[in-house]
Amino acid sequence: MKKNHFYFVTLLAGIALLSATKPFIRAPYGLIKGTPEIKSVSALTFGKDGILFIGDSKSATVFAVDTKDAKKNETAAAVSVSNIDQQIATALGTQKENITITDLAVNPVSKELYVAVQYSDGTPVILKVGNDKIEPLSLKDVNYSSIALNDVYAEDAKDARGRPMRVSTISDIGFDNGKVLVSGLSNKEFSSTFRSIPFPFTDKQDQASLEMYHASHGRYETTSPIRTFTTGKINGKDYLIASYTCTPLVLYPLDELKSGLHVKGRTVAEMGAGNTPIDMTTITKNGETFLVMANTARAVAEVSYKTIAAFEGTLTEPVKGTAGTAFVQVPSLTKVLQMDKLDKNHVVIIQKKENGSMDLLTTTNEAL
């Protein structure tokens, strides 16, 4: 009887202990609470439910952070902030000469704007920006997860000109159909690489090497990273639409970008040398779909998806000037440094004005 009484008391003590212990509950998407060690912000993009993906070339890692910014907003308010670089610097307690804006991303759920900034010493910061607010996004004790990229250059690796290779590990980042899409370089022989990473993160990452004909250079290239990309449907098929330094426009079938494969793209346009594409997105106006792309040395370029679809060949000969799919430039949108879709009718940009002011602006699709 005493033995049974001992077991009963022990059982009650165990139940009490379990009741007093707070259960560990994993956040959605496999996120855990903590402070991510982000060393750089090379690129930003959003997934679903306010999840912000941060591409960090320095640590060769992609982070997923729950911003807790998931309140649905169908129509965004127009944003207009003059001297955005100075205003960000003031909010951070420094001078604009000490910071560089590295990316801009719109949360497609809330329509809130997020801007990545790097201090001159390399320290990264992400800010939430609006007409009357500029506030740093706290990354302390947040729900997050991360995945380290495979086959990356060592931190001290340099090319033949002495330039660090690690900074090109992540050149752009996107999210499509439940996967994080990452362009950049690997340490393989054919180093131009496209990674497709299922989210929530596991240890799986599909990695394909890329090849394209660069008409202004007059050669096939396998070591140049994509500078900016988007995804779109052309003639009923899903494509990665990408551009590189000196502005070739290249299509890669998404269903061919599988792990371990070497994929040759189809160069549908040469949009001119001496230029680097910065951002691209897709808009709709007058019932037609267009690709719009910001550039370092030229005005924003616009090309109709119908025109891309009609060009069934590929450029395979050297080109001086432009060739292939026709495009137009938007004269009012020169020196656009960052660009993203704000909502179905608007695009938000950061533009360097002739007077030297760097402004955050909203433009309508019809104005493009």
pLDDT of 307 higher than 50: yes
At residue 23, the pLDDT reads 44
pLDDT more than 90, % of the chain: 89
10-19, 64-73, 103-112, 132-141: range with lowest mean pLDDT: 10-19
At residue 24, the pLDDT reads 46
- Quick one: average pLDDT of 318-341? 96
pLDDT tens per residue across span 140-150: 999 999 999 99
What is the distance of C-alpha 149 from the center of its chain? 15
Q: What is the mean pLDDT of the chain?
A: 93
pLDDT of 2 higher than 60: no
pLDDT band at 11 (very low <50, low <70, confident <90, very high): very low
Q: HEC states along the chain?
A: CHHHHHHHHHHHHHHHHHHHCCCCCCCHHHCEEECCCCCCCCEEEECCCCEEEEEECCCCEEEEEECCCCCCCCCCCCCCECCHHHHHHHHHCCCHHHEEEEEEEECCCCCCEEEEEEECCCCEEEEEEECCEEEECCCCCEEEEEEECCCCCCCCCECCCCCECHHHCCCEEEEECCEEEEEEECCCCCCEEEEEEECCCCCCCEEEEEEEEECCCCEEECCCCCCEEEEEEECCEEEEEEECCCCEEEEEEHHHCCCCCEEECEEEEECCCCCCEEEEEEEEECCEEEEEEEECCCCEEEEEHHHHHHCCCCCCCCCCCCEECCCEEECCCCCEEEEEEEECCEEEEEEECCCCCEEEEEEEHHHC
pLDDT of 45 higher than 60: yes
pLDDT tens per residue across span 187-241: 999 999 999 999 999 999 999 999 999 999 999 999 999 999 999 999 999 999 9
pLDDT band at 25 (very low <50, low <70, confident <90, very high): low
Nearest to 106 by CA among 53, 45, 49: 45
CB 360 within 8 A of CB 81: yes
At residue 26, the pLDDT reads 60
pLDDT more than 70, % of the chain: 93
At residue 181, the pLDDT reads 98
Domain range summary for the chain, segments of one domain joined by +: 29-148
